[in-house]
Amino acid sequence: MPLIELNNVTYAYDGNKNGNFFLGEINFSVEKGEVVSVFGPNGSGKSTFLKIISGILKPRSGTVLFDNKNLNLYSHKELAKKIAFVPTLTSSVYPFSVYEVVMSGRTPYLNFTGFEKKEDHEIVVEALKTVEIYHLRNKGINEVSGGEAQRAYIARALAQKTEMILLDEPTAHLDLKHQVAVMKLLKKLNEQQGKTIILVSHDLNLAGNFGERAILMKNGKIVKDGNAQEVLTQTNIKSVFEVEAFVTHKSFKNETQLNIQITCF
């Protein structure tokens, strides 16, 4: 049984900055422990797709099921214990510490008093140590590097103790070292903790080698869905992104990896 399932889902932004964007007829499912990378040009519907899965947006039509239960039947608190959403990295307008950011992931578990219990603090410490930023716990979230801040938001997702983590461009605005570090961390969470992960990315090479499954979106539709090496081909990249690409497969540490070069000139 799929962990998440979308059946004939449509969504539209009407009368706002997104104009007449329309997402639809989306049929999609993910098994427990699966890793899925979602690619597509700007405006293709990637972030909207992710927000519908998370419950942030409600579909115009169709159904979204989590553990075979309609997403609409979950309360906000219940859903926050099932699915964690990590948005694109931005600066915080509030001077929260790294520890406070991660502790906010425990909000769904707090009682009516709003006070944290010993267990909540233990879970936050565990999450900080898992992403290797415990030493930064008292630093302001805007005082640490982009890569460290991204780790803090992933730690917040871990503190939620969910089965699924959704990430919208987790490596955006990061340098190469921190991009690789974040992707390695996500891979570890999948392999060691069994987290189901769906991420949106513009980095075909980095995210394309992250998981076995890849999705290509264009004009509000899923146009390709399958094994990453079969989806991220020269023909498909040209069709979706309208650029020429040279795709090869290389063996590295006994694994076959994609190598995608975009022809600029």
Q: Which stretches of 13-106 are DSSP H helices?
A: 46-54, 76-80, 98-103
Q: What's the pLDDT tens digit per position in 27-65?
A: 999 999 999 999 999 999 999 999 999 999 999 999 999
pLDDT digits (tens, 9 = 90+) for 212-244: 899 999 999 999 999 998 999 999 999 999 999
Distances in whole angstroms, Cα of residue 82 to Cα of each of 58, 164, 196: 17, 7, 11
Domains of the chain: 1-82+162-232 (3.40.50.300), 93-160 (no CATH)
Please write the tens of the pLDDT for every residue from 72-106.
999 999 999 999 999 887 767 678 999 999 999 99
- Is the pTM higher than 0.85? The answer reads yes
Rounded distance between C-alpha atoms, residue 192 and residue 64, angstroms = 27
Residues 127 and 155 sit within 8 Å (Cβ to Cβ): yes
Q: pLDDT of 106-146, one tens digit each?
A: 999 998 777 899 999 999 999 999 999 999 999 999 999 98
